[in-house]
């Protein structure tokens, strides 16, 4: 996959991002770590838990990929999410 190493994923919801999807900081510049759904004007748009985010995203994921079952989506996200910047516990 070309440029895969440069692919950015939202560090909150794991969505693959292109530049148009970057969130915005308080001064209106781009935030490359989070997507516009998660991060807007310098703040997270929701302050839910990682579990809530996983539940929400796995539903979206199975809407976009009907061939994927929810169990599979959940399993994948339970692996990815704890590694994302927003949820990682150092
Ligand atoms: Zn996001």
Determine the distance separating the centroid of ligand 1 and the alpha carbon of 47, expressed in angstroms.
12
d(CA 33, CA 24): 10
Token pair, residue 39, equals: 């991060």
Global pTM reads 0.84
**12-61 pLDDT per residue, tens:** 999 899 999 999 999 999 999 999 999 999 999 999 999 999 999 999 88
- 4 and 32 assigned to the same domain: yes
Token pair, residue 18, equals: 């292109």
- 1 and 42 assigned to the same domain: yes
Q: Which of 29, 32, 39, 1 is nearest to 18 (CA)?
A: 32
Determine the distance separating the centroid of ligand 1 and the alpha carbon of 21, expressed in angstroms.
9
Assess if residue 7 is contained within a domain.
yes
- 42 and 2 assigned to the same domain: yes
Contacts 24+ apart (CB under 8 A), 28-35: 32/8, 33/85, 34/10, 34/86, 35/10
Determine the distance separating the centroid of ligand 1 and the alpha carbon of 1, expressed in angstroms.
22
Assess if residue 60 is contained within a domain.
yes
- 55 and 34 assigned to the same domain: no
**Domain span at 42:** 1-46
């Amino acid at each position: 996959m070309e440029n895969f190493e440069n692919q950015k994923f939202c560090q909150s919801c794991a969505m693959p991002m292109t530049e148009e999807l970057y969130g915005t900081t308080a001064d209106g510049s781009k935030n490359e770590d989070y997507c516009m759904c998660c991060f807007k004007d310098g703040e997270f748009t929701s302050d839910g838990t990682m579990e809530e985010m996983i539940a929400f995203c796995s539903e979206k994921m199975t809407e976009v990929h009907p061939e994927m079952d929810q169990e599979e989506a959940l399993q994948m996200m339970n692996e990815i999410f704890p590694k994302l910047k927003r949820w990682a516990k150092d």
